[in-house]
Amino acid sequence: MWYQKEIRLPSKPRGFHLITDDIVRAMPELKRMKIGVCHVFIQHTSASLTINENADATVREDFENYFNRTVREGESYYRHNDEGDDDLPAHIKTSLLGSSVQIPISNGALNMGIWQGVYLGEHRDYGGERSLVITLNGEE
């Protein structure tokens, strides 16, 4: 069976945010699936999806600080800078981290490890709402 839904997440501050619950809440059909894959896709080029620790919030703060140091704003060689200093770095961070996550479904639930959660990486200072396309495929 296939199920697909587009959801809009409200505007979030720059940084990394846990969105596992938003995904699960949007897809009650998950419960019916014995085996499958959940595919989550973000329709933007300045915000990313990745999977990492769901417990200690300092991991998400350290991520923000690490990526800001690794992909610096205002490098003199950047040519794409009409939209502000956070623009090109946001594109690079998005490709380093990725635009989708794929999670196995087993016995009616996402089969992640107990410490795993889905992060939205908001890489713009004022990114606004963000759209996700969630697609479930599996056997019931």
Site for its own copies, rule CB under 8 A: 2-4, 35-37, 39, 41, 43-45, 50-53, 56, 58-59, 61-63, 65-66, 70-71, 75, 77-80, 88, 91-92, 94-104, 106, 111-113, 115-116, 119, 131, 133, 135, 137-139
Both structure tokens of 46: 């300045």
Contact yes or no for 121/50 (Cβ under 8 A): yes
CB of 25 to its own copies, least distance (A): 19
Nearer to its own copies, 12 or 99 (CB): 99
Q: Is 47 exposed, middle or buried (0-12, 13-18, 19+ CB in 10 A)?
A: buried
- The least distance separating its own copies from the CB of residue 6, rounded to whole angstroms, comes to 8
Contacts of 140 (CB under 8 A, 6+ apart): 1, 32, 33, 34
Q: Which is nearer to its own copies, 10 or 62 (CB)?
A: 62
